């Protein structure tokens, strides 16, 4: 069985409103593409920062701009008006673990996708509030990668999340912000202990193929290290529009097959089981 658990029902722009996108008709568009591609199991994981309740966890200016909608209305819509699994994409905010747990535990999510988009107050994957600054000597790729993977390991170890999202997101910019030289396993190493100890599922995401990185998250060498610790895999596209559901899964499945992965995680009310991949994409 194929899954796509990291789905957004709308683009990231603020003018993509609930009224337009959180509708059964829009969900049907996602379902149709999924069906064409042989993906049976779909779940939605909207960005927490689009909801007012996120400000109970963190008051970053980017979140304050975005926190417009009601989280409980989103949960109600997904549960009552769709057949999608109910997830959320939650940032790891160091120091806010208790507040994060409170927000998550108050709702009956099927799974929580945990993401590292920020290193302290600075964004890894956005220009706005961006961490990348060539003018600052302490902001080279080396430092940013080290900080990113350390934080990723802490995110896993926090135990707050079921799935570790786009595990090497820091490469998102591709050649525009070159990765450090040499064998990158010295960075992956910084996260691997947290991944091993937590038993968190590792996301294999085709979103990286649509970005300047031009590569699946995580890189094969990192995925191999995760698999060696026994980490199970959650497969997703991080679609923000219907056409992106299951996008380029052929490449992801080829990678999984090459590394000997025959099962994917399926979640229900935050319990995990493994299902055989089976025949693959159409
Ligand atoms: Zn993300
Ligand atoms: Zn996402």
CA distance 14 to 247: 24
Per-residue pLDDT of the chain (282 residues; tens, 9 = 90+): 999 999 999 999 999 999 999 999 999 999 999 999 999 999 999 999 999 999 999 999 999 999 999 999 999 999 999 999 999 999 999 999 999 999 999 999 999 999 999 999 999 999 999 999 888 877 899 999 999 999 999 999 999 999 999 999 999 999 999 899 999 999 999 999 999 999 999 999 999 999 999 999 999 999 999 999 999 999 999 999 999 999 999 999 999 999 999 999 999 999 999 999 986 565
Q: How far is the CA of 46 from the centre of ligand 2 (A)?
A: 7
Q: How far is the CA of 247 from the centre of ligand 2 (A)?
A: 14
- pTM, rounded to two decimals: 0.97
CA distance 123 to 127: 8
Q: How far is the CA of 89 from the centre of ligand 1 (A)?
A: 7
Residues with CB under 5 A from ligand 1 (ion): 115
Q: How far is the CA of 7 from the centre of ligand 2 (A)?
A: 7
Q: Which tokens in the block code for residue 209?
A: 């193929």
100, 63 contact by CB (below 8 A):
no
Residues with CB under 5 A from ligand 2 (ion): 89, 238
Q: How far is the CA of 238 from the centre of ligand 2 (A)?
A: 5
Q: How far is the CA of 47 from the centre of ligand 2 (A)?
A: 7
81-104: buried (b, 16+ CB within 10 Å) or exposed (e) per residue? Answer: ebebbbbbbbbbbeebeeebeebb
Burial class (CB in 10 A: 0-12, 13-18, 19+), 141: middle
């Amino acid at each position: 069985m194929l899954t796509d658990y990291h789905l957004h029902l709308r683009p990231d722009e603020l003018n993509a409103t609930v009224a337009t996108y959180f509708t059964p008709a829009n969900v049907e568009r996602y379902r149709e593409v999924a069906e064409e591609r042989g993906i049976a199991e779909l779940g939605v994981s909207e960005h927490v920062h689009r909801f007012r309740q996120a400000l109970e966890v963190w008051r970053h200016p980017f979140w304050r701009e975005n926190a417009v909608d009601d989280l409980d209305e989103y949960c109600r819509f997904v549960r009552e008006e769709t057949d999608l699994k109910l997830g959320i994409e939650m940032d790891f905010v160091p120091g806010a673990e208790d507040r994060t747990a409170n927000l998550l535990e108050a709702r009956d999510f099927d799974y929580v996708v945990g993401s590292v988009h920020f290193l302290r107050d600075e964004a890894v994957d956005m220009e706005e509030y961006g961490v990348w600054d060539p003018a600052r000597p302490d902001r080279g790729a080396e430092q940013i990668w080290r900080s990113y993977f350390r934080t990723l390991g802490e995110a896993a170890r926090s135990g707050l999340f079921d799935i570790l999202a786009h595990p090497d997101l820091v490469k998102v910019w591709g050649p525009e912000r070159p990765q450090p030289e040499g064998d990158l396993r010295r960075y992956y190493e910084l996260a691997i202990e947290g991944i091993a100890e937590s038993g968190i599922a590792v996301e294999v995401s085709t979103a990286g193929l649509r970005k300047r990185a031009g590569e699946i998250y995580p890189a094969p060498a990192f995925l191999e290290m995760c698999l060696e610790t026994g980490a199970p895999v959650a497969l997703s596209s991080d679609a923000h529009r219907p056409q992106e559901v299951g996008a380029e899964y052929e490449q992801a499945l080829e990678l999984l097959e090459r590394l000997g992965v025959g099962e994917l995680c399926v979640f229900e009310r935050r319990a995990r089981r493994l299902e055989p991949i089976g025949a693959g994409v159409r």
